[in-house]
Structure 1
Amino acid sequence: MLSRTADHLFWMARYTERAENTARMLDANYQLALVPQSDEYVALGWRAMLSISELAGIYAAAHPSTTSRDVIAFMSSDRDNLSSIVSCLRAARENARAVRGSITTELWETLNTTWLDAQRMLADGVLERDPCEFFEWVKFRSHLSRGVQLGTMVRDEAFYFMRLGTFLERADNTARILDVKYEMLEQRGAAPAQPLVEPVVQPVAQPGVQPLMQSLDYYHWAAVLRSVSGFEVYRKVYRDVIMPERVAELLILCADWPRSLAASLDEVQQIIARVRNARSAHAEAMAVQLHSEVCAAPIGDLLRGSLHAWLNDFLARVNELGSCVSRDFLVPLAPEPVASESAALSQSQVQVSTQPHAA
């Protein structure tokens, strides 16, 4: 397969997955913002999300304050934000258009219709009326595109490069979703290790813990789980109250759950082994090593130290792996001069363009 074709397929899948995961992060923060709490705590959640997405500086340059409405618009419909949902859907569609001969008609129509309907929904004011409706729709369209891939594509190199893009992006975004909470805890200067009992069931706080803060922690961790479709999975696996250590363990180590870091990296290493070429030995070794280290991660030790720091290191290494994949299989990413915080984004965060794909 031509590297340019593989490049378009890889980024088409990454943008689709990124749009879904951005919707998941926004939905979790929006739901938490509805819980009675101080305005400062609500703003802290939005600032943490922008920080983890490496968009805080870009947002601050255009917005004087951090409000739910402004952040949702910035992350959903702002075409000047290259990582917004609408920008990702546009880029996915343009990459698909560039390789229509390598994908099925059903897949092209799914991505094209998603882009057209997204513009219509945003023009109709869905974000002002009901943001959750739009977030759920984005997640559904992403699920639909993956289902069409699985149901109509031949298992050839085109299929595997799409899957490679999906799981690299998923590993990156699952880590970011988990890291939002730990960014908030570090900013707040707290790290609760005690079980977080649902307030409706047991409203009395544990000794030494403020009742309101314990309640907010419960709702936040529940929102984190729901944002990755993991709330029911958590109940099934652990059959117990929500504990931060177990949430981290589920999102990082649960190999049987498709959104965990371990499961995503397992797919990545298998796919790279399938499409290997004469130059890809380094990328294959990196994928195997990163998967092995994640599977051996001692969650208890990480929580006693700084899971936030570990997740930041993981994100840097996933970005390095993505760059290695681009160098060995795709169109290499061109280095950009650092002029602002926006230039410090990971290369996977700045690949959206009005063109099918811009290096």
Structure 2
Amino acid sequence: MLSRTASELFWMARYLERAESFARVLDVTYKLSMVPRHSQQKRDLALPLNLSLTHDLFQARYPQFSMANLINFFALDSDNPSSIYSCVEMAWNNAHAVRGSLSAEVWECINTTRIQLRTLRQKGVEEVGIDAFFDWVKDRAHLFRGAVFGTLLRNDALCFIRIGTLIERAFATTQLLLLKDQQLNNDTDPVREYYRLDTLLRAVSAREAYNSIYRQPVTRDTVAELLILRNDVPRSLRACIEDVVGQLEQIANTRSHLPLRLAHQLNVDLRFSTREDLAQSDMQVYLTGLLARINALADSVRQTYLETV
């Protein structure tokens, strides 16, 4: 496969996964905004800005810090490169460039998502309802993945789509854990801690999984174990990296040493770590280190497969 084709497929998948991730984060932030006012509320609402590092851009476009402005900024603002609208547009551009490598169903899914989002942008999120909008974004992402799994050949194209999705998901989960840990460290109120952990689980669709595995009230230690070390939770870091290893093995060639080594090393470290190891770690340092390793893995994939030799 040409490096350019692989790159377009990789980034198409990353942008669509990023759009869904921001929909999930916005959903959590919106629900946190309904908690009775407290000293850390503004910090809670700034979660999407912290994730995307767009504080300055937001302040330049919106003089007032409010939930309504945050939703507009991250949902449909074309000037925000991290908005759901911008992510879908960039995913569509990548998909259009490699139309021949996609099935008709996958292309129609992406194209229809873009058309519907442009129509929705003219009406505004409030017109369709905030919760309905978030659900729509997640549904379109689910439909895309279903079309990918159900219609694409099991070849290199599918591998690069999967690698892009998994790396973006691993990064998003780890970054969300890092910022949630900062929030919890800054506010020790047990009621708000419980609510923050609960919304974190719902953001990654892991509330039911948590109840099934632990059968106890949520705690920081158990949530960290679930979203970092469990390989049976689809959005956990270990599950993502384990799947990345499998995809990289399928496309391995004589130049694949570095990405394979980085992926295997990270997978082994996660596989043989325990909840006690996490409890004894400085979570801020630990999660920051994980983000650096995920970025290094993504960069090695780019240099090995996505750049012209």
* TM score, norm. by length of structure 2: 0.94
Q: Does 1 or 2 have the higher relative contact order (CA < 8 Å, sep 6+)?
A: 1
SS at match of 1:323: helix
Counterpart CA distance in 1 for 2:125 and 2:259 is: 42
Is 1:265 aligned to 2:241, yes or no? Answer: yes
Number of the residue aligned with 2:216: 240
**Alpha-carbon deviations, 1:254-291, whole Å to 9, x = none?**
10111110000001111111101221101110011111
**Alpha-carbon deviations, 1:213-233, whole Å to 9, x = none?**
322222211111111111111
More moved, 128-137 vs 90-99? 128-137
Counterpart CA distance in 1 for 2:273 and 2:42 is: 32
Number of the residue aligned with 1:24: 24
Is 1:12 aligned to 2:12, yes or no? Answer: yes
Question: Counterpart of 2:302 in structure 1: which amino acid?
Answer: S
Counterpart CA distance in 1 for 2:127 and 2:280 is: 41
Counterpart CA distance in 2 for 1:129 and 1:308 is: 38
Unaligned runs of 5+ in 2: none
Number of the residue aligned with 2:300: 324
Q: Percent identity?
A: 39
**1:226-237 pair list within 5 angstroms:** 226-237=202-213
Number of the residue aligned with 1:147: 146
Number of the residue aligned with 2:180: 181
Q: Number of residue pairs matched?
A: 308
Quick check: which one's helix share is greater? Answer: 2
Question: Counterpart of 2:125 in structure 1: which amino acid?
Answer: V
Question: Counterpart of 1:120 in structure 2: which amino acid?
Answer: T
CA, structure 1 residues 51+140, in 2 after alignment: closer, same or farther (shift >3 Å)? Answer: same
**Alpha-carbon deviations, 1:89-124, whole Å to 9, x = none?**
011111111011111011101000001101112221
**1:95-134 pair list within 5 angstroms:** 95-127=94-126, 130-134=129-133
Number of the residue aligned with 1:309: 285
CA RMSD for the aligned pairs? 1.7
Q: Are the aligned partners of 2:229 and 2:274 in contact in 1 as well (CA < 8 Å)?
A: no
Number of the residue aligned with 1:92: 91
Question: Counterpart of 1:244 in structure 2: which amino acid?
Answer: R
Number of the residue aligned with 2:46: 47
**Alpha-carbon deviations, 1:159-179, whole Å to 9, x = none?**
111011110111011112222
Is 1:217 aligned to 2:193, yes or no? Answer: yes
Counterpart CA distance in 1 for 2:112 and 2:29 is: 28
Unaligned runs of 5+ in 1: 191-212, 333-359
More moved, 83-92 vs 73-82? 73-82
CA, structure 1 residues 271+294, in 2 after alignment: closer, same or farther (shift >3 Å)? Answer: same
**Alpha-carbon deviations, 1:119-173, whole Å to 9, x = none?**
1122212246622211111011000000000000010101111011110111011
Number of the residue aligned with 1:78: 77
The 4+ residue runs of structure 1 with deviation greater than 6 A are none
Question: Counterpart of 2:120 in structure 1: which amino acid?
Answer: M
Q: Are the aligned partners of 2:105 and 2:147 in contact in 1 as well (CA < 8 Å)?
A: yes
Q: Are the aligned partners of 2:225 and 2:274 in contact in 1 as well (CA < 8 Å)?
A: no
Counterpart CA distance in 1 for 2:301 and 2:30 is: 35
